[in-house]
Chain A
Amino acid sequence: MGCGCGDCEKMMQPYMDGVLSEEQIREAQEHLARCPHCEKRYRFEVTLRRYVRVAVEEPIPDGLKQKLAGLRSAG
């Protein structure tokens, strides 16, 4: 069951990005503390963002660092 409040869904991403005002942050925190529906989705969003970052990570190819170092003025 949802909390019926579309506002918290809209506030989720800005909340995670840390761009809300202090008052909005407090509101979001209070809401998350009493709404398991949004709280679960919040935890999912946080984990998802981290998961996306890790899943697309590819180490820098062998030898690229040396090639870049070779482009320096000193050669």
Chain B
Amino acid sequence: MSESAPTAAETRRIAEEARDRVRFEEEALQLSDQVYRVARRLVASREEAEDLVQDTYARAFRSWRQYQHGTNLRAWLLRILTNLNIDRGRRVQRTPDQQPLEEGDYYLYNRLESAIPDENPDEERVLQRLSQNAVVEALADVPHDFRDVLVLVDIGEFSYAEAAQILDIPVGTVMSRLHRARRILKQQLADKALTA
């Protein structure tokens, strides 16, 4: 047998690898809606989100061998995406980082409810005071370290453990940031709903 002719085992290995790669690419492409949904809220514009998702997939397709089949592909893709995003310093920052006043978890409800003239309105009625636009803007105003966690858990529906893995921070940090992020979001929502 000549040196250049591949053995049967090699041929089989190459064919298997090609199959694994195609399977990886197909599985990754099936997740693009979910990846985009998170990306869109991590950056300021649709165009940036599109760029970020394309760069994420380009890198994922190049480094597909690093992905262990059977592990969480969606989290793996989001890890690439958040790293690219943090590297570029592209995260939305509409307002400078401040230490917002810490209000309780019922703050938003209490403020919205008190702005409604009826005695004891139901919660649907209270929620109607929040426009879609107010929600989008309020989320963009959450400082980015907090927003990253909020977007992954409450928009992307990742678990605490997955968010910790994606952002490479301890689970305890995910929990404390998420807790503050939700409170900050509610505070922003209250301000927007009640000054509109």
Contact = CB atoms under 8 A, between A and B. Distances in A.
B123 A56 contact: no
A67 interface: yes
B154 A52 contact: yes
Interface residues of A, number: 34
Contacts of B135: 51-52, 55-56
A44 B46 contact: no
B40 interface: yes
Contacts of B94: none
B123 A13 contact: no
Contacts of B154: 49, 52-53
Please report whether the interface of chain A is mostly helix, strand, loop or mixed according to DSSP: helix
Contacts of B109: 40-41, 44-45
B41 interface: yes
Contact of A64 (B21, B54, B104, B139): B54
B105 interface: yes
A70 B106 CA distance: 48
Chain B contact residues, majority secondary structure: helix
A33 interface: no
A61 B127 contact: no
Nearest to A11: B105
Interface in A53-70: 53, 55-61, 64-65, 67-69
A68 B40 CA distance: 16
A12 B182 CA distance: 12
Given A51-B127, A56-B41, A56-B135, A65 B29 contact: yes
Given A67-B54, A71-B61, A73-B21, A48 B127 contact: yes
Nearest to A49: B154
A57 B32 contact: no
Most buried by A among B21, B106, B132: B106
